[in-house]
Amino acid sequence: MAKKEIDDRFKKFGTVSFTSISKVNDFVDYLEKGKVMATKCKDCGQIFFPPRADCCNCFTSNMDWQEVTGKGKLLSYSKLEYGPVGFGDDLPYSIALLDFGDYKVFGRLASELSDQDVAVGMEMTVEANTLPNGQINYVFKKA
């Protein structure tokens, strides 16, 4: 018998991933192709970010993938001078939250943005990003 293959694609997400197996592992494939994706329930139409496999309104799992596009408004951010174990090489970096209207996206500001470039309320876009350690995530850039 061939050994059953484990789909652990999610371990590639972020500097350090704490999850390897998820029903939304396709998120990682899309990200590798440069697309940041949300899921949309085929039954009620709600868009979910972060993407989820199951709809808690309909109790169904009929999901479509939908790309996160356009501009989001920067709701808040913070630049970290200390990081958790495994994140030391990324320091300093900023975590942030964008509002796209129907949903919000939590992530990081692009590392090239300086403090002067960033202000609450500014418009930003989200882009797939490869990290120095070969992992992938997404970052926010000035729109």
What tokens were used for 59?
């109790």
Q: Distance of CA 115 to CAs 2, 40, 56, 110, 140, Å? A: 53, 35, 39, 11, 14
CA pair distance 25, 76, nearest whole angstrom: 28
Which x/- pattern, by CB under 8 A, does the window 7-46 give for other proteins? ---x--xxxxxxx--x------------------------
User: Is the CB of 2 or the CB of 86 nearer to other proteins?
Assistant: 86
Closer residue to other proteins, CB minimum distance, 58 or 100: 100
Residue 99's SS3 state is strand
Q: Of 1, 6, 84, 114, which lies in the binding site for other proteins, with binding defined by CB under 8 A?
A: 84
Instruction: Using CB under 8 A, list all residues that contact other proteins.
Output: 10, 13-19, 22, 49-50, 75-87, 90, 93, 95-97, 103-108, 115, 120-121, 137
